[in-house]
Amino acid sequence: MTAATPDDLFALFDRLDIRAVTHRHDPAFTVEEGHRVWGSIPGVHCKNLFLKDGKGWLWLVVAPADRRIDLKTLPGRIGSARLSFGSAALLAEVLGIEPGSVTPFAVINDPGHRVTVVLDAGMMAEERINYHPLRNDMTSTLSPAELLRFLGHTGHMPLLVEL
């Protein structure tokens, strides 16, 4: 399967009536770099952790960029085994993206539902949320309800957890 492109993602947004606003900027590979390029983009900016547990299950944990996530206590919150970061090769294989571009939108490339999406409950209470649209030189802003519509369409029913 060929990985979806940002244009494929935007076409799906149109079909699902998701009115995301996308901003172009310099590539941001880390949250720190993101702080330099997000500028006046409204809403909560987020980080995304691609994780693998000790039983081989895959997890995508999505939270506000400034939220500290303790990988030692996270398994008890989400029902996983011990967690570690997934490799770049596994990320490319399962989600069709490169490190630095991890985003909940990448589940568009996971028709086998290998990844469980975990969303921070506080983030989902915000008015606007921001993620890379499969590449880290753009940021798309949408509502939490629109993110849930997208995830539902892909068959990835997320866990909502206070992180």
Q: How many CA atoms lie within 13 A of 163 on its CB side?
A: 29
Q: What is the DSSP letter of 106?
A: G
pLDDT at residue number 87: 97
For domain 6-161, which architecture applies? Answer: Alpha-Beta Complex (3.90)
Helix intervals (H) in 38-101: 74-78, 88-95
Q: Looking at this protein, which amino acid is placed at residue 150?
A: F
pLDDT at residue number 112: 96
Which of 13, 156, 33 is CA-nearest to residue 99?
A: 33
pLDDT at residue number 124: 98
Gap between the Cα atoms of 46 and 129, Å rounded: 7
User: Domain spans of the chain?
Assistant: 6-161
Taken as a whole, the chain contains a residue count of: 163
By CB atoms closer than 10 A (0-12, 13-18, 19+), residue 5 is middle
Global pTM value = 0.94
pLDDT < 50 positions in the chain: none
pLDDT at residue number 32: 81
Gap between the Cα atoms of 121 and 144, Å rounded: 10
pLDDT at residue number 1: 67
Measure CA of the first residue to CA of the last residue in the chain; give whole Å: 33
